[in-house]
Structure 1
Protein backbone atom coordinates (compact mmCIF):
# COMPACT_ATOMS: atom_id res chain seq x y z
CA UNK A 1 0.00 0.00 0.00
CA UNK A 2 1.34 3.43 -0.93
CA UNK A 3 1.67 5.99 1.83
CA UNK A 4 0.36 9.51 1.35
CA UNK A 5 3.86 10.91 0.68
CA UNK A 6 4.47 8.39 -2.12
CA UNK A 7 1.16 9.32 -3.76
CA UNK A 8 2.10 13.01 -3.74
CA UNK A 9 5.47 12.28 -5.31
CA UNK A 10 3.89 10.09 -7.99
CA UNK A 11 1.29 12.76 -8.77
CA UNK A 12 4.00 15.40 -9.08
CA UNK A 13 6.02 13.25 -11.49
CA UNK A 14 2.93 12.54 -13.57
CA UNK A 15 2.35 16.29 -13.94
CA UNK A 16 5.96 16.80 -15.00
CA UNK A 17 6.66 13.96 -17.39
CA UNK A 18 10.20 15.11 -18.13
CA UNK A 19 11.06 14.35 -14.49
CA UNK A 20 9.85 10.76 -14.69
CA UNK A 21 12.72 8.60 -13.40
CA UNK A 22 14.17 5.70 -15.35
CA UNK A 23 14.55 2.41 -13.55
CA UNK A 24 17.89 0.56 -13.62
CA UNK A 25 18.77 -2.93 -12.45
CA UNK A 26 21.51 -3.26 -9.86
CA UNK A 27 23.73 -4.86 -12.51
CA UNK A 28 23.25 -1.77 -14.71
CA UNK A 29 24.20 0.54 -11.85
CA UNK A 30 27.24 -1.59 -11.09
CA UNK A 31 28.36 -1.43 -14.70
CA UNK A 32 27.85 2.31 -15.08
CA UNK A 33 29.91 2.97 -11.91
CA UNK A 34 32.63 0.46 -12.88
CA UNK A 35 31.80 -1.59 -9.77
CA UNK A 36 31.54 1.58 -7.61
CA UNK A 37 35.19 2.41 -8.20
CA UNK A 38 35.16 6.23 -8.12
CA UNK A 39 33.63 7.55 -4.92
CA UNK A 40 32.76 11.23 -5.13
CA UNK A 41 31.50 11.78 -1.61
CA UNK A 42 29.16 10.80 1.19
CA UNK A 43 25.91 12.60 1.94
CA UNK A 44 23.34 12.35 4.66
CA UNK A 45 21.57 9.49 2.90
CA UNK A 46 24.39 7.50 1.35
CA UNK A 47 27.56 7.33 -0.72
CA UNK A 48 27.88 9.03 -4.11
CA UNK A 49 29.82 7.47 -6.99
CA UNK A 50 30.87 8.64 -10.43
CA UNK A 51 29.01 6.87 -13.22
CA UNK A 52 28.64 6.96 -17.00
CA UNK A 53 25.48 6.19 -18.95
CA UNK A 54 25.49 4.26 -22.23
CA UNK A 55 25.38 7.53 -24.19
CA UNK A 56 28.54 8.72 -22.43
CA UNK A 57 26.83 11.20 -20.12
CA UNK A 58 28.51 11.45 -16.71
CA UNK A 59 26.23 11.09 -13.70
CA UNK A 60 26.41 10.96 -9.92
CA UNK A 61 25.03 7.71 -8.52
CA UNK A 62 23.87 7.65 -4.90
CA UNK A 63 23.59 4.37 -3.00
CA UNK A 64 21.09 5.00 -0.21
CA UNK A 65 21.77 3.95 3.36
CA UNK A 66 19.16 2.08 5.34
CA UNK A 67 19.23 4.81 7.97
CA UNK A 68 20.05 8.50 7.91
CA UNK A 69 23.53 9.57 9.01
CA UNK A 70 25.29 12.88 9.46
CA UNK A 71 27.71 12.29 6.55
CA UNK A 72 31.42 12.87 6.20
CA UNK A 73 33.63 15.40 4.45
CA UNK A 74 33.43 15.60 0.71
CA UNK A 75 35.98 13.43 -1.11
CA UNK A 76 37.16 13.99 -4.67
CA UNK A 77 39.91 12.24 -6.55
CA UNK A 78 40.82 15.52 -8.25
CA UNK A 79 41.12 17.40 -4.97
CA UNK A 80 44.78 18.23 -5.61
CA UNK A 81 43.91 20.46 -8.59
CA UNK A 82 44.32 24.12 -7.67
CA UNK A 83 41.45 26.53 -8.32
CA UNK A 84 42.34 30.06 -9.39
CA UNK A 85 40.33 33.06 -8.24
CA UNK A 86 38.78 33.29 -11.70
CA UNK A 87 37.65 29.67 -11.47
CA UNK A 88 36.28 30.14 -7.94
CA UNK A 89 34.39 33.21 -9.06
CA UNK A 90 32.87 31.40 -12.04
CA UNK A 91 31.91 28.49 -9.78
CA UNK A 92 30.20 30.88 -7.34
CA UNK A 93 28.32 32.55 -10.21
CA UNK A 94 27.32 29.17 -11.61
CA UNK A 95 25.91 28.04 -8.27
CA UNK A 96 23.99 31.32 -7.96
CA UNK A 97 22.54 30.76 -11.43
CA UNK A 98 21.52 27.21 -10.48
CA UNK A 99 19.82 28.34 -7.27
CA UNK A 100 18.04 31.15 -9.10
CA UNK A 101 16.66 28.54 -11.49
CA UNK A 102 15.47 26.33 -8.62
CA UNK A 103 13.73 29.28 -6.98
CA UNK A 104 12.24 30.99 -10.05
CA UNK A 105 12.90 28.98 -13.20
CA UNK A 106 10.87 25.91 -12.27
CA UNK A 107 7.08 25.79 -12.34
CA UNK A 108 7.25 24.79 -8.69
CA UNK A 109 9.78 26.58 -6.50
CA UNK A 110 12.37 24.18 -5.06
CA UNK A 111 14.09 24.99 -1.77
CA UNK A 112 17.30 22.99 -1.38
CA UNK A 113 18.21 23.42 2.33
CA UNK A 114 21.63 21.75 1.91
CA UNK A 115 23.72 24.24 -0.06
CA UNK A 116 27.33 23.61 1.01
CA UNK A 117 30.62 22.71 -0.71
CA UNK A 118 30.00 18.98 -0.16
CA UNK A 119 26.93 19.14 -2.41
CA UNK A 120 28.52 20.99 -5.33
CA UNK A 121 29.94 18.71 -8.02
CA UNK A 122 32.29 20.03 -10.72
CA UNK A 123 32.53 18.63 -14.23
CA UNK A 124 35.69 18.54 -16.34
CA UNK A 125 35.21 22.23 -17.19
CA UNK A 126 34.62 23.10 -13.50
CA UNK A 127 30.97 23.87 -14.20
CA UNK A 128 29.14 23.44 -10.87
CA UNK A 129 26.24 21.03 -10.46
CA UNK A 130 24.00 21.29 -7.39
CA UNK A 131 23.45 17.82 -5.93
CA UNK A 132 21.79 16.02 -2.99
CA UNK A 133 18.14 17.06 -2.91
CA UNK A 134 17.39 14.76 0.03
CA UNK A 135 16.26 17.67 2.23
CA UNK A 136 14.67 19.77 -0.52
CA UNK A 137 11.07 20.91 -0.31
CA UNK A 138 8.62 21.96 -3.01
CA UNK A 139 6.96 25.31 -2.54
CA UNK A 140 4.07 26.13 -4.88
CA UNK A 141 3.39 29.54 -3.33
CA UNK A 142 4.68 32.71 -5.03
CA UNK A 143 6.27 33.93 -1.80
CA UNK A 144 8.05 30.56 -1.35
CA UNK A 145 7.35 30.62 2.39
CA UNK A 146 6.94 27.20 3.95
CA UNK A 147 6.17 25.71 7.34
CA UNK A 148 8.61 23.29 8.91
CA UNK A 149 8.31 21.11 11.98
CA UNK A 150 12.04 20.66 12.57
CA UNK A 151 15.50 21.90 11.68
CA UNK A 152 17.17 20.62 8.53
CA UNK A 153 20.59 21.23 7.01
CA UNK A 154 24.22 21.31 8.13
CA UNK A 155 25.52 23.38 11.04
CA UNK A 156 27.44 26.36 9.74
CA UNK A 157 25.24 26.75 6.67
CA UNK A 158 21.78 26.69 8.26
CA UNK A 159 19.94 30.02 8.16
CA UNK A 160 18.95 31.34 11.63
CA UNK A 161 15.22 31.13 10.89
CA UNK A 162 15.49 27.42 10.08
CA UNK A 163 16.49 26.50 13.64
CA UNK A 164 14.56 29.30 15.38
CA UNK A 165 11.39 30.91 14.02
CA UNK A 166 12.18 33.96 16.16
CA UNK A 167 14.46 35.10 13.31
CA UNK A 168 11.71 35.03 10.68
CA UNK A 169 9.87 32.75 8.28
CA UNK A 170 11.54 29.93 6.37
CA UNK A 171 11.67 30.62 2.63
CA UNK A 172 13.96 30.77 -0.41
CA UNK A 173 15.99 33.29 1.61
CA UNK A 174 17.21 30.34 3.70
CA UNK A 175 19.05 29.01 0.65
CA UNK A 176 20.45 32.51 0.10
CA UNK A 177 22.01 32.40 3.58
CA UNK A 178 23.58 29.00 2.93
CA UNK A 179 24.97 30.27 -0.38
CA UNK A 180 26.55 33.26 1.34
CA UNK A 181 28.22 31.11 3.99
CA UNK A 182 29.51 28.74 1.32
CA UNK A 183 31.04 31.52 -0.79
CA UNK A 184 32.62 33.06 2.31
CA UNK A 185 34.16 29.67 3.02
CA UNK A 186 35.51 29.56 -0.54
CA UNK A 187 37.18 32.93 0.05
CA UNK A 188 38.37 32.01 3.54
CA UNK A 189 40.03 28.77 2.47
CA UNK A 190 42.13 30.69 -0.04
CA UNK A 191 42.94 33.83 1.95
CA UNK A 192 43.80 32.42 5.38
CA UNK A 193 46.69 30.01 5.70
CA UNK A 194 46.06 26.57 7.17
CA UNK A 195 47.35 27.51 10.63
CA UNK A 196 45.13 30.58 10.86
CA UNK A 197 42.06 29.06 9.26
CA UNK A 198 41.87 26.07 11.59
CA UNK A 199 42.52 27.91 14.84
CA UNK A 200 39.55 28.34 17.15
CA UNK A 201 40.43 32.03 17.55
CA UNK A 202 39.44 32.96 14.01
CA UNK A 203 35.91 32.82 12.59
CA UNK A 204 36.20 34.08 9.04
CA UNK A 205 32.90 36.05 8.77
CA UNK A 206 33.95 38.02 11.88
CA UNK A 207 37.44 38.53 10.50
CA UNK A 208 36.38 39.70 7.05
CA UNK A 209 33.61 42.04 8.23
CA UNK A 210 35.98 43.81 10.62
CA UNK A 211 38.28 44.52 7.66
CA UNK A 212 35.35 45.77 5.59
CA UNK A 213 34.31 48.12 8.41
CA UNK A 214 37.84 49.52 8.69
CA UNK A 215 38.10 49.89 4.91
CA UNK A 216 41.29 47.84 4.94
CA UNK A 217 42.83 46.13 1.93
CA UNK A 218 41.59 42.79 3.29
CA UNK A 219 45.19 41.52 3.29
CA UNK A 220 44.82 40.46 -0.32
CA UNK A 221 48.33 41.47 -1.31
CA UNK A 222 50.31 38.40 -2.31
CA UNK A 223 47.11 36.33 -2.39
CA UNK A 224 45.46 37.63 -5.55
CA UNK A 225 47.41 38.00 -8.77
CA UNK A 226 46.07 41.24 -10.21
CA UNK A 227 43.47 44.00 -9.95
CA UNK A 228 40.90 41.84 -11.78
CA UNK A 229 41.21 39.15 -9.14
CA UNK A 230 40.95 41.72 -6.34
CA UNK A 231 37.67 42.97 -7.79
CA UNK A 232 36.31 39.42 -8.00
CA UNK A 233 37.28 38.66 -4.41
CA UNK A 234 35.80 41.89 -3.05
CA UNK A 235 32.61 41.23 -4.97
CA UNK A 236 32.37 37.70 -3.56
CA UNK A 237 32.88 39.04 -0.04
CA UNK A 238 30.36 41.89 -0.24
CA UNK A 239 27.67 39.75 -1.87
CA UNK A 240 28.20 36.99 0.70
CA UNK A 241 27.85 39.42 3.59
CA UNK A 242 24.52 40.59 2.14
CA UNK A 243 23.42 36.96 1.85
CA UNK A 244 24.11 36.13 5.51
CA UNK A 245 22.07 38.97 6.98
CA UNK A 246 20.27 37.72 10.07
CA UNK A 247 16.89 39.08 9.02
CA UNK A 248 15.69 37.17 5.93
CA UNK A 249 14.02 40.36 4.68
CA UNK A 250 17.44 42.00 4.38
CA UNK A 251 18.86 39.23 2.19
CA UNK A 252 18.60 39.65 -1.58
CA UNK A 253 16.77 36.98 -3.60
CA UNK A 254 18.99 34.78 -5.77
CA UNK A 255 18.00 36.78 -8.87
CA UNK A 256 19.48 39.89 -7.25
CA UNK A 257 22.49 37.92 -5.96
CA UNK A 258 23.22 36.88 -9.55
CA UNK A 259 22.95 40.48 -10.73
CA UNK A 260 25.33 41.60 -7.98
CA UNK A 261 27.86 38.89 -8.79
CA UNK A 262 27.84 39.66 -12.51
CA UNK A 263 27.52 43.45 -12.18
CA UNK A 264 29.89 46.31 -11.43
CA UNK A 265 31.47 46.27 -7.98
CA UNK A 266 31.02 50.05 -7.69
CA UNK A 267 27.27 49.48 -7.35
CA UNK A 268 27.75 47.32 -4.23
CA UNK A 269 27.49 48.81 -0.77
CA UNK A 270 28.69 47.48 2.56
CA UNK A 271 25.78 45.64 4.23
CA UNK A 272 24.72 46.11 7.85
CA UNK A 273 26.66 43.99 10.28
CA UNK A 274 24.87 40.66 10.63
CA UNK A 275 24.57 38.85 13.92
CA UNK A 276 27.36 36.35 13.50
CA UNK A 277 28.29 33.60 15.88
CA UNK A 278 31.07 31.06 15.64
CA UNK A 279 29.91 27.50 15.00
CA UNK A 280 32.13 26.24 17.83
Structure 2
Protein backbone atom coordinates (compact mmCIF):
# COMPACT_ATOMS: atom_id res chain seq x y z
CA UNK A 1 0.00 0.00 0.00
CA UNK A 2 3.00 2.27 0.26
CA UNK A 3 6.32 3.05 1.85
CA UNK A 4 7.46 5.44 4.56
CA UNK A 5 5.94 8.53 2.93
CA UNK A 6 2.57 6.83 2.59
CA UNK A 7 2.66 5.70 6.22
CA UNK A 8 3.46 9.26 7.31
CA UNK A 9 0.61 10.63 5.20
CA UNK A 10 -1.83 8.05 6.61
CA UNK A 11 -0.76 8.94 10.14
CA UNK A 12 -1.38 12.64 9.53
CA UNK A 13 -4.77 11.93 7.93
CA UNK A 14 -5.78 9.63 10.78
CA UNK A 15 -4.88 12.31 13.35
CA UNK A 16 -7.12 14.77 11.53
CA UNK A 17 -9.94 12.21 11.45
CA UNK A 18 -9.61 11.18 15.10
CA UNK A 19 -12.57 11.53 17.43
CA UNK A 20 -12.19 11.94 21.19
CA UNK A 21 -15.81 10.97 21.79
CA UNK A 22 -15.17 7.26 21.26
CA UNK A 23 -12.44 4.75 20.46
CA UNK A 24 -11.95 6.14 16.99
CA UNK A 25 -8.36 5.10 16.32
CA UNK A 26 -9.25 2.34 13.86
CA UNK A 27 -12.06 4.46 12.37
CA UNK A 28 -9.63 7.32 11.79
CA UNK A 29 -7.15 4.97 10.11
CA UNK A 30 -9.98 3.49 8.03
CA UNK A 31 -10.97 6.95 6.79
CA UNK A 32 -7.35 7.73 5.96
CA UNK A 33 -6.90 4.44 4.09
CA UNK A 34 -10.11 5.07 2.16
CA UNK A 35 -8.41 8.05 0.53
CA UNK A 36 -5.81 5.57 -0.76
CA UNK A 37 -8.41 3.12 -2.03
CA UNK A 38 -8.05 0.66 0.86
CA UNK A 39 -9.79 -0.16 4.13
CA UNK A 40 -8.67 -0.95 7.67
CA UNK A 41 -9.76 -4.58 7.28
CA UNK A 42 -7.84 -4.95 4.01
CA UNK A 43 -4.71 -3.48 5.59
CA UNK A 44 -5.06 -5.68 8.68
CA UNK A 45 -5.37 -8.89 6.66
CA UNK A 46 -2.60 -7.87 4.25
CA UNK A 47 -0.27 -7.29 7.20
CA UNK A 48 -1.16 -10.69 8.62
CA UNK A 49 -0.25 -12.38 5.33
CA UNK A 50 2.91 -10.28 4.81
CA UNK A 51 4.15 -11.06 8.33
CA UNK A 52 4.20 -14.73 7.35
CA UNK A 53 5.78 -14.31 3.91
CA UNK A 54 8.36 -11.51 4.31
CA UNK A 55 11.75 -11.93 5.97
CA UNK A 56 15.08 -10.11 6.20
CA UNK A 57 16.97 -13.37 5.65
CA UNK A 58 18.82 -13.76 2.33
CA UNK A 59 17.15 -17.17 1.95
CA UNK A 60 13.84 -15.34 1.47
CA UNK A 61 15.08 -14.37 -2.02
CA UNK A 62 12.50 -12.14 -3.73
CA UNK A 63 10.50 -11.94 -0.49
CA UNK A 64 13.44 -10.46 1.39
CA UNK A 65 12.58 -7.25 3.18
CA UNK A 66 15.58 -5.57 4.80
CA UNK A 67 13.43 -3.55 7.18
CA UNK A 68 12.12 -6.84 8.62
CA UNK A 69 15.22 -7.44 10.78
CA UNK A 70 13.07 -7.54 13.91
CA UNK A 71 10.63 -10.08 12.44
CA UNK A 72 11.00 -13.75 13.39
CA UNK A 73 13.28 -15.49 10.89
CA UNK A 74 10.82 -18.31 10.29
CA UNK A 75 7.72 -16.16 10.42
CA UNK A 76 5.30 -15.61 13.33
CA UNK A 77 4.90 -18.37 15.90
CA UNK A 78 2.41 -21.12 15.12
CA UNK A 79 -0.76 -21.52 17.13
CA UNK A 80 -1.35 -25.08 15.90
CA UNK A 81 -0.09 -27.66 13.40
CA UNK A 82 -2.63 -29.97 11.77
CA UNK A 83 -1.68 -33.23 10.06
CA UNK A 84 -4.49 -34.17 7.69
CA UNK A 85 -5.12 -37.19 5.48
CA UNK A 86 -8.10 -38.50 3.50
CA UNK A 87 -10.81 -40.13 5.58
CA UNK A 88 -10.02 -38.14 8.69
CA UNK A 89 -12.10 -35.27 10.06
CA UNK A 90 -10.36 -32.92 12.46
CA UNK A 91 -10.90 -29.56 14.12
CA UNK A 92 -9.15 -26.94 16.22
CA UNK A 93 -10.65 -24.33 18.52
CA UNK A 94 -9.34 -21.09 19.97
CA UNK A 95 -10.56 -18.67 22.62
CA UNK A 96 -7.33 -16.65 22.85
CA UNK A 97 -7.43 -14.54 19.68
CA UNK A 98 -7.07 -10.87 20.57
CA UNK A 99 -8.57 -7.79 18.99
CA UNK A 100 -6.94 -7.04 15.62
CA UNK A 101 -4.65 -10.02 16.24
CA UNK A 102 -3.66 -13.03 14.13
CA UNK A 103 -3.15 -16.71 14.81
CA UNK A 104 -1.26 -18.95 12.40
CA UNK A 105 -1.92 -22.61 11.67
CA UNK A 106 0.29 -24.91 9.61
CA UNK A 107 -1.48 -27.64 7.64
CA UNK A 108 0.49 -30.71 6.58
CA UNK A 109 -1.30 -32.82 4.00
CA UNK A 110 -0.73 -34.73 0.77
CA UNK A 111 -4.48 -35.01 0.24
CA UNK A 112 -7.14 -32.42 -0.69
CA UNK A 113 -8.64 -30.75 2.35
CA UNK A 114 -11.76 -28.63 2.83
CA UNK A 115 -11.28 -26.02 5.56
CA UNK A 116 -14.20 -24.19 7.20
CA UNK A 117 -14.17 -21.56 9.94
CA UNK A 118 -16.99 -20.67 12.31
CA UNK A 119 -17.13 -17.77 14.75
CA UNK A 120 -18.57 -19.25 17.93
CA UNK A 121 -19.35 -15.96 19.70
CA UNK A 122 -20.30 -13.39 17.11
CA UNK A 123 -21.02 -12.53 13.47
CA UNK A 124 -19.09 -14.47 10.82
CA UNK A 125 -17.72 -11.18 9.45
CA UNK A 126 -15.81 -10.55 12.70
CA UNK A 127 -13.19 -13.16 11.73
CA UNK A 128 -11.27 -13.59 8.47
CA UNK A 129 -9.65 -16.86 7.35
CA UNK A 130 -6.70 -16.47 4.97
CA UNK A 131 -5.03 -19.45 3.30
CA UNK A 132 -1.39 -18.66 2.43
CA UNK A 133 -0.34 -21.21 -0.18
CA UNK A 134 3.27 -21.39 -1.34
CA UNK A 135 3.63 -23.01 -4.74
CA UNK A 136 6.53 -25.12 -5.95
CA UNK A 137 7.72 -22.20 -8.12
CA UNK A 138 7.94 -20.08 -4.91
CA UNK A 139 5.00 -17.87 -5.89
CA UNK A 140 2.11 -17.39 -3.48
CA UNK A 141 -1.64 -17.77 -3.71
CA UNK A 142 -3.74 -16.19 -0.97
CA UNK A 143 -7.40 -17.18 -0.60
CA UNK A 144 -9.68 -15.38 1.85
CA UNK A 145 -13.01 -17.04 2.54
CA UNK A 146 -15.02 -18.84 5.21
CA UNK A 147 -14.72 -22.13 3.30
CA UNK A 148 -11.59 -23.03 1.32
CA UNK A 149 -10.79 -26.20 -0.63
CA UNK A 150 -7.07 -26.90 -1.06
CA UNK A 151 -5.40 -29.50 -3.26
CA UNK A 152 -1.71 -29.59 -2.24
CA UNK A 153 -0.45 -31.27 -5.42
CA UNK A 154 1.41 -28.14 -6.64
CA UNK A 155 2.15 -26.66 -3.22
CA UNK A 156 5.24 -26.47 -1.02
CA UNK A 157 3.40 -25.39 2.10
CA UNK A 158 -0.02 -24.51 3.51
CA UNK A 159 -0.51 -21.95 6.26
CA UNK A 160 -3.63 -20.28 7.59
CA UNK A 161 -3.94 -16.92 9.28
CA UNK A 162 -7.03 -16.16 11.35
CA UNK A 163 -7.60 -12.43 11.89
CA UNK A 164 -9.99 -10.73 14.32
CA UNK A 165 -11.10 -7.86 12.11
CA UNK A 166 -14.17 -6.44 13.82
CA UNK A 167 -14.06 -3.23 15.83
CA UNK A 168 -16.51 -3.61 18.72
CA UNK A 169 -16.31 -7.18 19.99
CA UNK A 170 -14.29 -8.63 22.84
CA UNK A 171 -14.39 -12.38 22.20
CA UNK A 172 -13.22 -14.04 19.00
CA UNK A 173 -13.57 -17.72 19.79
CA UNK A 174 -13.58 -19.77 16.62
CA UNK A 175 -13.60 -23.35 15.37
CA UNK A 176 -11.90 -24.59 12.20
CA UNK A 177 -12.87 -27.96 10.73
CA UNK A 178 -10.83 -30.05 8.29
CA UNK A 179 -12.60 -32.54 6.01
CA UNK A 180 -11.98 -34.38 2.75
CA UNK A 181 -11.60 -31.93 -0.13
CA UNK A 182 -11.73 -32.13 -3.92
CA UNK A 183 -8.82 -33.28 -6.09
CA UNK A 184 -7.52 -31.16 -8.96
CA UNK A 185 -5.69 -27.87 -9.39
CA UNK A 186 -9.00 -26.17 -10.27
CA UNK A 187 -10.51 -27.30 -6.98
CA UNK A 188 -9.02 -24.47 -4.91
CA UNK A 189 -12.35 -22.73 -4.81
CA UNK A 190 -13.45 -19.96 -4.76
CA UNK A 191 -10.65 -19.04 -7.22
CA UNK A 192 -12.06 -17.40 -10.34
CA UNK A 193 -8.77 -16.83 -12.20
CA UNK A 194 -5.18 -18.01 -12.65
CA UNK A 195 -2.12 -15.79 -13.01
CA UNK A 196 0.78 -17.26 -15.00
CA UNK A 197 4.47 -16.67 -14.40
CA UNK A 198 5.81 -13.52 -16.02
CA UNK A 199 8.20 -13.66 -18.98
CA UNK A 200 10.97 -12.91 -19.69
CA UNK A 201 12.16 -12.87 -16.11
CA UNK A 202 14.50 -11.10 -15.39
CA UNK A 203 13.46 -8.41 -17.89
CA UNK A 204 14.92 -5.18 -19.20
CA UNK A 205 12.17 -3.04 -20.68
CA UNK A 206 8.95 -5.09 -20.87
CA UNK A 207 7.48 -8.07 -19.08
CA UNK A 208 4.36 -10.02 -20.07
CA UNK A 209 1.99 -12.35 -18.25
CA UNK A 210 -1.30 -14.11 -18.88
CA UNK A 211 -4.47 -14.27 -16.85
CA UNK A 212 -6.97 -17.09 -17.32
CA UNK A 213 -10.42 -16.16 -16.03
CA UNK A 214 -12.50 -19.20 -15.06
CA UNK A 215 -15.61 -17.33 -13.97
CA UNK A 216 -16.59 -13.76 -14.82
CA UNK A 217 -15.38 -11.51 -12.04
CA UNK A 218 -14.02 -8.05 -11.27
CA UNK A 219 -10.23 -8.20 -11.18
CA UNK A 220 -7.61 -5.64 -10.26
CA UNK A 221 -4.02 -6.05 -11.44
CA UNK A 222 -1.24 -3.94 -9.93
CA UNK A 223 2.54 -3.80 -9.83
CA UNK A 224 4.14 -3.31 -6.40
CA UNK A 225 7.75 -2.80 -5.41
CA UNK A 226 9.54 -4.71 -2.66
CA UNK A 227 8.37 -2.14 -0.09
CA UNK A 228 4.71 -2.66 -0.92
CA UNK A 229 4.36 0.63 -2.78
CA UNK A 230 1.91 0.79 -5.65
CA UNK A 231 3.95 1.31 -8.82
CA UNK A 232 1.42 0.83 -11.62
CA UNK A 233 -2.18 -0.24 -12.06
CA UNK A 234 -2.47 -2.54 -15.08
CA UNK A 235 -6.20 -3.31 -15.02
CA UNK A 236 -9.27 -2.75 -12.87
CA UNK A 237 -12.65 -4.00 -14.05
CA UNK A 238 -14.82 -6.97 -14.94
CA UNK A 239 -13.33 -9.74 -17.09
CA UNK A 240 -15.40 -12.49 -18.69
CA UNK A 241 -14.25 -16.10 -18.90
CA UNK A 242 -11.25 -16.47 -21.19
CA UNK A 243 -7.50 -15.94 -21.50
CA UNK A 244 -6.03 -12.44 -21.39
CA UNK A 245 -2.54 -11.12 -22.04
CA UNK A 246 -1.05 -8.18 -20.12
CA UNK A 247 2.32 -6.48 -20.01
CA UNK A 248 4.23 -3.81 -18.09
CA UNK A 249 6.80 -1.54 -19.74
CA UNK A 250 8.63 -0.65 -16.50
CA UNK A 251 6.99 2.79 -16.35
CA UNK A 252 5.30 3.87 -13.12
CA UNK A 253 2.03 5.76 -12.57
CA UNK A 254 3.81 9.09 -13.00
CA UNK A 255 5.42 8.21 -16.32
CA UNK A 256 8.86 7.66 -14.82
CA UNK A 257 11.12 4.70 -15.52
CA UNK A 258 11.17 2.15 -12.71
CA UNK A 259 14.56 1.38 -11.20
CA UNK A 260 16.21 -2.04 -11.15
CA UNK A 261 14.91 -4.39 -8.49
CA UNK A 262 12.28 -6.95 -7.57
CA UNK A 263 8.62 -6.20 -8.27
CA UNK A 264 5.42 -8.11 -7.62
CA UNK A 265 2.52 -8.59 -9.99
CA UNK A 266 -0.69 -8.90 -7.99
CA UNK A 267 -4.04 -9.99 -9.41
CA UNK A 268 -6.98 -10.01 -7.03
CA UNK A 269 -10.74 -10.22 -6.83
CA UNK A 270 -12.93 -10.00 -3.73
CA UNK A 271 -11.92 -13.43 -2.36
CA UNK A 272 -8.37 -14.21 -3.48
CA UNK A 273 -5.08 -12.72 -4.55
CA UNK A 274 -2.25 -14.21 -6.59
CA UNK A 275 1.33 -12.95 -6.74
CA UNK A 276 4.20 -13.38 -9.18
CA UNK A 277 7.64 -11.85 -8.79
CA UNK A 278 9.52 -10.06 -11.57
CA UNK A 279 13.09 -8.77 -11.57
CA UNK A 280 13.90 -5.62 -13.54
CA UNK A 281 17.54 -5.37 -14.64
CA UNK A 282 18.84 -2.27 -16.42
Q: Could you say which TM-score interval applies, normalised by the shorter chain?
A: under 0.3
TM-score normalised per structure 1: 0.26
TM-score normalised per structure 2: 0.26
More helix as a share of residues: 1
